[in-house]
């Protein structure tokens, strides 16, 4: 059974001329144990979709089902036990402490007085520990950076203990370390049996950690599939409008236009890869029949230009030495 299912769903918003449709005829399903990334350009309707399927925006048409129950038939408390949502908007009250905000995630299960049980407290402690924010527990929200607040919001969603978690740009304000940490955590949570949907622009991390991608495009049907299939058949590149920009979908690199001299490069491993990157960025072309040869060694770089050979101790020094050689030849 699907944890979440949408059938013939149209999303958008009303305006003076009638409904403004952003996406239509959406047919998708999310199963327990899956982590799915929703991707597409800005303005294509990703946030609108997240808000619509979570009941924060009215759908224009179609249906949203949670465990085969229509969204409209679920009470607010029932819905809060089915799914938790992490949006990019900041909480209304910035005077709450981190602990107080995370405790709100337990409200669907607490009494009318909001009293927390021992189990509630254990879940809150677990959510704080899993997101590595123990050191923030007693701080006020206004004292947090955007990245810290983002992790606190994720902790609140975890404390809600729902089977479905929807996140809109969960890594938007995070540095690389915290971004990877959060995505790996979400992956682990999905593997424990939760269903997780993430709206994101982060292609490299998402394509490695997601089971499937849902791709939104302008005036085109939604595409879906495994990240690998969508990369190999070119669908992801077309959806994100990366064609013609020299973006390498396999390695996540940009092939910069080169106008400099051709260089023949040899060597192995990471040092060869980063040497090639530096040379391309500096305008050099890599060719198997170039007059300038560079051998990437274990501790240095050996360059041969005609009958002359010189060694460089770093990539920076290599680029300087190449530039000096060009100046001399120019004279």
Distance CA 61, CA 4 (A): 17
Q: Is the pLDDT of residue 182 over 90?
A: no
Band of pLDDT at residue 2, cut at 50, 70 and 90? confident
Q: How far is CA 82 from CA 75, 77, 164, 213, 306, in A?
A: 11, 9, 6, 22, 71
Q: Is the pLDDT of residue 331 over 50?
A: no
Residue 79: strand, helix, or coil: helix
Could you report how far apart the first and last alpha carbons of the chain are, in Å?
75
Band of pLDDT at residue 330, cut at 50, 70 and 90? low
Q: Is the pLDDT of residue 257 over 60?
A: no
Domains plus CATH for the chain? 4-246 (3.40.50.300), 262-330 (no CATH)
Lowest mean pLDDT among 96-100, 111-115, 132-136, 206-210: 111-115
Q: Is the pLDDT of residue 253 over 70?
A: no
* 270, 271, 276, 279 alpha-carbon torsion, rounded to 10°: 150
Report the pLDDT value the prediction gives residue 125, as an integer from 0 to 100: 95
Distance CA 36, CA 186 (A): 11
pLDDT tens-digit map of 24-54: 999 999 999 999 999 999 999 999 999 999 9
Predicted model pTM: 0.80
Q: What is the DSSP string of 260-316?
A: S-EEEEE--HHHHHHHHHHHHHTTPEE-TT-SEEEEE-SS-EEEEETTEEEEESSHH
């Amino acid at each position: 059974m699907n944890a979440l299912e949408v059938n013939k769903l149209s999303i958008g918003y009303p305006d003076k001329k009638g409904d403004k449709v952003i996406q239509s005829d959406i047919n998708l399903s999310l199963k327990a144990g899956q982590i799915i990334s929703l991707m597409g350009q800005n303005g294509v309707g990703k946030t609108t979709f997240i808000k619509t399927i979570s009941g924060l925006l009215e759908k224009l048409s179609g249906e949203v089902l949670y465990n085969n129950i229509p969204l409209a038939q679920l009470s607010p408390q029932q819905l809060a036990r089915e799914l938790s949502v992490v949006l990019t908007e900041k909480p209304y009250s910035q005077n709450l402490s981190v602990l107080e905000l995370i405790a709100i995630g337990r409200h669907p299960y607490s009494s009318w007085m909001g009293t927390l049980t021992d189990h509630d407290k254990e879940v809150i402690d677990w959510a704080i520990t899993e997101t590595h924010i123990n050191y923030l527990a007693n701080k006020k929200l206004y004292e947090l950076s955007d990245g810290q607040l983002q992790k606190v919001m994720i902790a609140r969603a975890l404390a809600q203990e729902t089977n479905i978690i929807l996140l809109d740009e969960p890594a938007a304000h995070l540095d690389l370390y915290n971004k990877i940490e959060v995505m790996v955590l979400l992956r682990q949570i999905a593997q424990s049996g939760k269903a997780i949907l993430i709206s994101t622009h982060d292609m490299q991390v998402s394509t490695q950690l997601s089971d499937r991608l849902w791709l939104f495009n302008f005036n085109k049907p939604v595409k879906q599939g495994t990240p690998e299939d969508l990369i190999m058949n070119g669908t992801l590149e077309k959806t994100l409008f990366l064609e013609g920009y020299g973006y390498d979908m396999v390695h996540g690199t940009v092939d910069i236009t080169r106008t400099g001299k051709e260089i023949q490069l040899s060597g192995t491993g990471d040092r060869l890869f980063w040497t090639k990157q530096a040379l391309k960025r500096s305008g050099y072309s890599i060719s198997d029949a170039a007059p300038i040869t560079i051998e990437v060694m274990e501790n240095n770089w050996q360059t041969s230009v005609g009958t002359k050979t010189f060694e460089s101790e770093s990539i920076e020094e290599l680029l300087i030495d190449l530039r000096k050689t060009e100046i001399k030849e120019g004279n």
